[in-house]
Copies of this chain bind each other. A is one copy, B any other.
């Protein structure tokens, strides 16, 4: 009723589509990984971050920020992954408060089994859709948005520039 017309037509379009993508993309990723290897996309992310971490190990807090998650969320997932034998937790010697998480050999195996299908899904649903030039635009736009969503730059993707520094790293997707 109030006459305020908050978004311009162009803004409304872009916003509606971004919302749709944020809704559909996670669902699709979860569905594919669940179907193929009984893993959540978030679990996959956790494992893949660990796989490319020094000594296959990361502290819970750091792992949480690397995966854009809250600590409680990660803690629950770590327990489940541990029960499945894909991950091991052990106390950090230096700081007895802290917990280290390490991916097991079995975890690596599952990851290797999962990777091809996951990569194919990402390609066919996202990367292949982009016209030349749109990849860099997407990187720039998401960086802008993340700088607002995560001002402290605590979370992984914002630091993702760091990943660019080591292009030879055995980066799992």
Q: Which residues from chain A sit less than 8 Å from chain B, CB to CB?
A: 1-2, 4-7, 9-26, 28, 45, 68-69, 108, 112, 115-116, 119, 122, 124-131, 134-150, 155-158, 160-161, 163-164, 167, 171, 173
Please name 16 pairs of A and B residues whose Cβ atoms are closer than 8 Å in the assembled complex, sorted by A: A1-B108, A1-B112, A9-B167, A10-B136, A12-B163, A17-B158, A21-B142, A23-B26, A24-B150, A25-B145, A125-B145, A125-B148, A125-B149, A126-B148, A129-B147, A130-B141
Interface SS of A by simple majority = helix
Q: Which B residues are CB-close (under 8 A) to A157?
A: 16-17, 19-21
**Is there an interface contact between A163 and B23, defined as CB atoms closer than 8 Å?**
no
A83 to B155 CA separation, bound complex (whole angstroms)? 38
Residues of B within 8 A of A9 (CB): 163-164, 167
Of B11, B129, B134, B149, which is within 8 A of A137 by CB? B134
- Residues B119 and A7 in contact, CB atoms below 8 Å apart: yes
| Closest partner residue, chain B, to A23 (CB atom) | B68
Contact A149 B108 (CB under 8 A): no
A22 touches B26 (CB 8 A): yes
- What residues on B are CB-neighbors of A146 within 8 Å? 17, 20-21, 24
